[in-house]
Structure 1
Amino acid sequence: MAGQQHPLADRTLVVSGGSRGIGLAIAVGAARLGANAVLLAKTSEPHPKLPGTVHTAVAEVEAAGGKGLAVVGDVRNEEDVQRAVDAAVERFGGIDVVVNNASAIATDPTERLSAKKFGLMMDVNVRGTFLLTKAALPHLRNSPNAHVVTLAPPLNLTPRWLGAHPSYTLSKYGMTLLSLGWAAEYADAGIGFSCLWPQTYIATSAVTNLADGAALLSTSRSPQIMADAAVAILTRSAAEVNGKCLIDADVLAESGVTDLASRYGGGDHPTWDIFVDAPVVAS
């Protein structure tokens, strides 16, 4: 009804790595509320170990009630990123939200980590986040209540996390630092730069493909929790979330959602995600 549109109706999101997992869940969650979703991903053909393609992802977005656009490309490639941004503007008239979701992970010990894997993490995680955000900024400036949500953790500098997998940590903290830096650099631009990170493992292909993935799935929450948290962030004012690193469960608790197990699975004792310190249980 007139005057009762959801705040995300007709808003346009550009999501990197949106063909599956958390990126797709966020796009579909926004689409249910009337948003447009432009998905930038490399997977144009089915992968033997990973479900879905950027095209099947767009089909899910449209089945949810939104409008979708697939852009086959690599977030590491400046031309591909610019093509995705240009396509979003041409098709939908602008960009209101960027979701920096694409990420590469390798947690090998330093002496066994190849230079190729190190470079991949820096290129996808840090360079990709930089390229997409930079390309979208001129359009975000023209959007009321624009947001850039980066899927990166709060900066936890305890020795436990610093020593666990320093190269991967560097790449993810690099994403966080970019977000925090942009929040300060563009403080007067009306854009909300925030980071979002899961409190627990999320049941995605990244978990499934781990050595103990089958066991971890039972203590992992659904990607829907990240989608719901992202939607909650996007409906807040940019100023309210600018410069913040947020945890999905905390965002939902602020919205009154506390019974996470029944909604998102993971059981009563889900597996805490990396960079998040589990609460100390008194003996």
Structure 2
Amino acid sequence: MSGSSGALSPKVKVGSLHGKVAIISGSTRGIGKACAVALAKQGCNVVVAAKTTTPQPTLPGTIYSVAEELEQLGVKALPVKVDMRSLDDIQECVRQTVDKFGRIDILVNNASALWWQRIEDTPMNKYDLITQINSRGSFALTHLCLPVMAKNKFGRVINMSPPLQTDFRALSSWVLVYKGFTAYNISKFGMTMSALGAAAEYEGQGITGNSLWPATVIESQASKNFELGGREMWRKAQILSDCVLGIVCGPDSFTGHQLIDDEYLQQEHNLSAEDLAVYRCVPDVEPPRALASHGHMGATGDATVRRGDVRKLNTDVKGSSALSKL
């Protein structure tokens, strides 16, 4: 396999995905859309599974506009309105996919709800919301896709979620996502468990399961809407889509991993630190590895960022300290 137009870095080893079918949740913008475009450039048909059907000022892109953009790349695209809280929507998405394509080869569980608050500041309705979307929604979609993948003896499940942590001190010392954000951690670790479960239960059947997480804040509508620093603190979403291409095109034996994006690219595709510069949003500034675990070179100190309802952003920003310390 060799580098191709779907990957931003020419070093990422990818191959043709002609005839394959991917479902990507939350694919109308940001990371999900970057993955959709990258897979489409490799010849993969894509199901655009997301909630947005009409453009909004703070949420550009719809399932229809993205599907049209993908079809201009020469593949087939299926826009499906999916609220990840709705089992009916998820079931209908899988049904339409099988009806149209007759197969499912790739599942990227990307859709996610953000809630970065402490236990005492987390109402139960918010806990229910993020758990329904993150843990339950990704589990339900995985649950329905795996039997379809098994029929063709090929499948790739990739969940955008962090490595599991069992040491409570690690949870208190990670920057940004982890410090004290217990409800969010539960919901995201549940996604990781689904990926690992797919790996364990389908080992040797051509199906892999891996989780994938960024080391840095990624440029997206969420990073803009929640004011997660400036562009010099972000990497492009293509660092994750390059990882997805590498995993999808990788061997069946590459399974059961909890991956950090830049570490995966360095270890599996031989990218150097200099090669990673292609993913910077600001070309001459290396962003802090703020989402990497304690012990990695980005996690420093006791800083936190609080983010909940975007309508209460001003209040959250006043109570945050991490962005000024990174």
Runs of 4+ aligned structure 1 residues displaced above 6 Å come to none
Question: The residue matched to 1:269 in structure 2 has which SS?
Answer: coil
Q: For 1:185, give the aligned amino acid.
A: E
Per-residue CA shift, 1:164-191, capped at 9, x if unaligned?
3111111111111222123222224321
Aligned residues: 274
The aligned counterpart of 1:207 is 223
Q: 2:73 aligns with which of 59, 64, 82?
A: 64
Structure 1 residue runs of 5 or longer lacking an equivalent are none
Shift of 1:145: 3.2
Matched, 1:234 2:248: yes
Question: The residue matched to 1:142 in structure 2 has which SS?
Answer: helix
Matched, 1:32 2:46: no
The aligned counterpart of 2:164 is 155
Aligned equivalents of 2:156, 2:298: Cα separation in 1: 34
Are the counterparts in 1 of residues 288 and 298 from structure 2 also a CA contact under 8 Å? no
Structure 1 pair 30–275 and aligned structure 2 pair: CA distance change class (3 A):
same
Structure 1 pair 263–188 and aligned structure 2 pair: CA distance change class (3 A):
closer
Structure 2 residue runs of 5 or longer lacking an equivalent are 1-13, 300-326
Structure 1 pair 30–264 and aligned structure 2 pair: CA distance change class (3 A):
farther
Q: 1:191 aligns with which of 207, 218, 222?
A: 207
Per-residue CA shift, 1:58-87, capped at 9, x if unaligned?
122223332211001212211111111111
Aligned equivalents of 1:56, 1:256: Cα separation in 2: 35
Per-residue CA shift, 1:30-85, capped at 9, x if unaligned?
00010000011110011231111111111222233322110012122111111111
Matched, 1:279 2:297: yes
Aligned equivalents of 1:239, 1:76: Cα separation in 2: 32
Structure-1-length-normalised TM-score:
0.90
Q: 2:28 aligns with which of 19, 37, 48?
A: 19
Are the counterparts in 2 of residues 207 and 217 from structure 1 also a CA contact under 8 Å? no
Are the counterparts in 2 of residues 12 and 94 from structure 1 also a CA contact under 8 Å? yes
Structure 1 pair 87–204 and aligned structure 2 pair: CA distance change class (3 A):
same
The aligned counterpart of 2:286 is 269
The aligned counterpart of 2:318 is none
Are the counterparts in 2 of residues 180 and 193 from structure 1 also a CA contact under 8 Å? yes
Are the counterparts in 1 of residues 289 and 298 from structure 2 also a CA contact under 8 Å? no
Are the counterparts in 2 of residues 229 and 252 from structure 1 also a CA contact under 8 Å? yes
Aligned equivalents of 1:216, 1:109: Cα separation in 2: 24
Percentage of matched positions with identical amino acids: 35
The CA RMSD over aligned residues, in Å, is 2.0
Q: 1:180 aligns with which of 196, 209, 218?
A: 196
Question: The residue matched to 1:239 in structure 2 has which SS?
Answer: coil
Are the counterparts in 2 of residues 150 and 194 from structure 1 also a CA contact under 8 Å? yes
Matched, 1:112 2:121: yes
The aligned counterpart of 1:86 is 95
Question: The residue matched to 2:152 in structure 1 has which SS?
Answer: coil
Aligned equivalents of 2:84, 2:298: Cα separation in 1: 39
Question: The residue matched to 1:218 in structure 2 has which SS?
Answer: helix
Are the counterparts in 1 of residues 29 and 60 from structure 2 also a CA contact under 8 Å? yes
Are the counterparts in 2 of residues 103 and 125 from structure 1 also a CA contact under 8 Å? yes
